[in-house]
Amino acid sequence: MALDPIEEIKTRFDIVDIIKEYIPLQNAGANFRARCPFHQEKSASFMVSASKQIWHCFGCGEGGDLFTFVMKHESLQFGEALRLLAQKAGIQLESQDPRLKDEKSRLYDCMSAAVDFFHLGFLKSPRALHAREYAAKRGLSEDIIDEFKIGYAPGDENLLYQYLLGKKFLASEMLNCGLVLKRAQGYQYYDRFRNRLIVPIRNLHGAVVGFGGRLLEEIKDAPKYLNSPQTALYDKSRIVFGLDKAKYEIRKTDEVILVEGYMDFLALYQAGIKHVVATSGTALTVEQIRLIKRFTSTLLFCFDSDAAGSQATVRGIEHALSEGMNVRIIELPRTEDGVSKYKDPDDCIRASKDDWAQAVKDARSFVQFHFDRTMNTTVITDGYAKRKAVHHMLGIIRLLAERVEQDHWIKKLAQELFLSESVLWEELTKGAKQATQKISPAPQKVAQPKEQGQSIQMLFLSFCIRFPSMCQEVMNDIDNEMIDHELDKMVYEQFKNNQEPSGKECEERYNLLSLLAEKEYEFLSEKNALEIGLQLADKIRDEYRKRKIDELQTLMADAERTNNSEAVQRYTQEFSKLKH
């Protein structure tokens, strides 16, 4: 019998590899540590155990296995995380699995049925000839067509709708996927994408969430490019086209090239430039920038010949700068009279790989780009032009997240325009006050730490696990009742009796404590350990005594109030025992 998919996923993946896709991990003995992604912290208290395949943050108390990490990091329900990891592992999930019966999963199925429909149509249908011709004209190779599942949407009224009905999907599901539209009157549904070349749009994990469609012949009133609408699966502000494919290469090269449109993306990708992603003409959102920033903080913008000044582009760059990214601009080469040689990156890479490579090499920082441009076009003897130039440049400098960088550019600007730095600084701050709250990055959600640091008792138990040879000595005077946490008490008892931890909860607690041991005692030598262990034991006894004294004092006060002399006497005896 096949393994349970959850178990199978756990055997296929190493939790360390998965978590590494989200945050950088550092070796810490047999384990790994990082700064916790779920709360803000300066030191690293987030631990991952390769041997136990668990993670735990000793700062905020969050922890669990592979699934809980992905669920928490991606804000997913269990079913969604299961689907995501199954897909990654190449495991076919039984769609009968009740865990997958949620609505979103149905929508994902519906989308992938649509991918098949479009892709097979592209490959096989005699009517897709002009789509195949168009793809050939754009130079798309068979490999790329296969890898990206490029498709064809026929011109008919509702062929996709009929096909999906045949696959037992509901019209409401197709609507929710953005695949069909409903006429205002009557009950007719019709396909959204008709007579188009189709490019699937995927989320970070490769699941198709939307489509882009390029019109294949002029049709009156039909837009040349059409994208899926915002749906439950397709949150446009959080999807970056191509990131699922490019993420590893981006991490490797530590930079990403951003182009406008999937055709430019496909051309570069096919030419072997794989650290590339695309926008679909809309401004980059802060969420998209943050997604990209997981993999690199160097962003190279490459625009169609003159889009560098477009509103959408500028807004995207502002977001990137405010997130502290290093932004550079790739300019496509120009002829000697300053005319663009190429229409777009697609055009450039297909004509000359050398020209493209040179353009990337010549990429300038965003500020440098504007600085050069402004200086080239400003006649500095003209007072008005000079003022305009200053304002333009100060607007750019103001976007920089670092004061040091601002200082650098203020100095340069002062030099070039023969102005005093102090005047420029004054103008810069003045403008900042006037500027209506430009970009304010949404405050990070900060989890409230559940427990500040570790209790002495946990530290003590993890010490015992780490240095079993010293246990006898340090455990000597520690009774079970001195341990508060119920599970800790059980773990301690089993441990004292030389038993393996038994019961799921105890086992989990034991694993957690051993992870804590790795975190705390990684560099503690056997030689120095005993002293630490004895100190911990002392503290536990101290705490326990203080607690008992408090309790007794309360009891005694009660007994005195009710004139229960017998009880007063008993408590006094106990009290004096505790006192030494």
- Of the pair 124, 450, the CB lying nearest Zn ion is at 450
| Residues touching Zn ion, count (CB under 5 A) | 6
- 54: nearest Cα among 87, 31, 72: 31
Q: Give me the least distance between CB of 444 and Zn ion, in Å please.
A: 13
Interaction of residue 59 with Zn ion, rule CB under 5 A = yes
Which of 18, 19, 38, 180 lies at the binding interface for Zn ion (CB under 5 A)?
A: 38
Interaction of residue 106 with Zn ion, rule CB under 5 A = no
Q: Give me the least distance between CB of 31 and Zn ion, in Å please.
A: 16
Q: Give me the least distance between CB of 450 and Zn ion, in Å please.
A: 9
The stretch near Zn ion (CB under 5 A) out of 55-63, 80-88, 156-164, 296-304 is 55-63
Dihedrals φ, ψ of 274, to 5°?
A: -105, 0
Are the CB atoms for 304 and 258 separated by under 8 Å?
A: no
Residues 6 or more apart whose Cβ sits within 8 Å of residue 295:
243, 247, 250, 251, 256
Phi-psi region of 190 (alpha: psi -120 to 50; beta: other; left: phi over 0): beta
Q: Which residues of 215-229 are buried (b: 16+ CB within 10 A; e: fewer)?
A: bbeeeeeeeeebbbe
- Of the pair 37, 155, the CB lying nearest Zn ion is at 37
Are the CB atoms for 53 and 12 separated by under 8 Å?
A: no
- CA atoms of 330 and 325, how far apart (whole Å): 16
Interaction of residue 57 with Zn ion, rule CB under 5 A = yes
Are the CB atoms for 113 and 169 separated by under 8 Å?
A: yes
- CA atoms of 519 and 55, how far apart (whole Å): 12
The separation between the first and the last C-alpha atoms of the chain, rounded to the nearest angstrom, is: 64
Q: Give me the least distance between CB of 6 and Zn ion, in Å please.
A: 25
Q: Give me the least distance between CB of 193 and Zn ion, in Å please.
A: 44
The stretch near Zn ion (CB under 5 A) out of 16-24, 59-67, 326-334, 337-345 is 59-67
- Of the pair 60, 397, the CB lying nearest Zn ion is at 60
Which of 18, 36, 128, 506 lies at the binding interface for Zn ion (CB under 5 A)?
A: 36
Q: Which residues of 8-28 are buried (b: 16+ CB within 10 A; e: fewer)?
A: ebbeeeebbebbebeeebeeb
Interaction of residue 366 with Zn ion, rule CB under 5 A = no
- Of the pair 59, 213, the CB lying nearest Zn ion is at 59
- 7: nearest Cα among 69, 70, 53: 53
CA distances to 272, 398, 404, 520 from 438, in Å? 38, 10, 20, 44
Q: Give me the least distance between CB of 77 and Zn ion, in Å please.
A: 21
Are the CB atoms for 130 and 138 separated by under 8 Å?
A: no
- Of the pair 38, 262, the CB lying nearest Zn ion is at 38
Which of 60, 291, 308, 400 lies at the binding interface for Zn ion (CB under 5 A)?
A: 60
Token pair for residue 167?
């696959």
- CA atoms of 88 and 178, how far apart (whole Å): 25
Q: Give me the least distance between CB of 54 and Zn ion, in Å please.
A: 14
Q: Give me the least distance between CB of 45 and Zn ion, in Å please.
A: 7
Q: Give me the least distance between CB of 64 and Zn ion, in Å please.
A: 12
The stretch near Zn ion (CB under 5 A) out of 56-64, 94-102, 147-155, 529-537 is 56-64
Which of 10, 39, 196, 519 lies at the binding interface for Zn ion (CB under 5 A)?
A: 39
Q: What is the DSSP secondary-structure string of 69-104?
A: HHHHHHT--HHHHHHHHHHHHTPPPPTT-GGG-SHH
The stretch near Zn ion (CB under 5 A) out of 54-62, 357-365, 395-403, 503-511 is 54-62
Interaction of residue 48 with Zn ion, rule CB under 5 A = no
Q: Give me the least distance between CB of 58 and Zn ion, in Å please.
A: 8
- Of the pair 60, 197, the CB lying nearest Zn ion is at 60
Residues 6 or more apart whose Cβ sits within 8 Å of residue 50:
14, 15, 16, 30, 31, 32
The stretch near Zn ion (CB under 5 A) out of 31-39, 95-103, 307-315, 325-333 is 31-39
Which parts of 109-138 interact with Zn ion (CB under 5 A)? none
- Of the pair 90, 443, the CB lying nearest Zn ion is at 443
- Return residues touching Zn ion (CB under 5 A): 36, 38-39, 57, 59-60
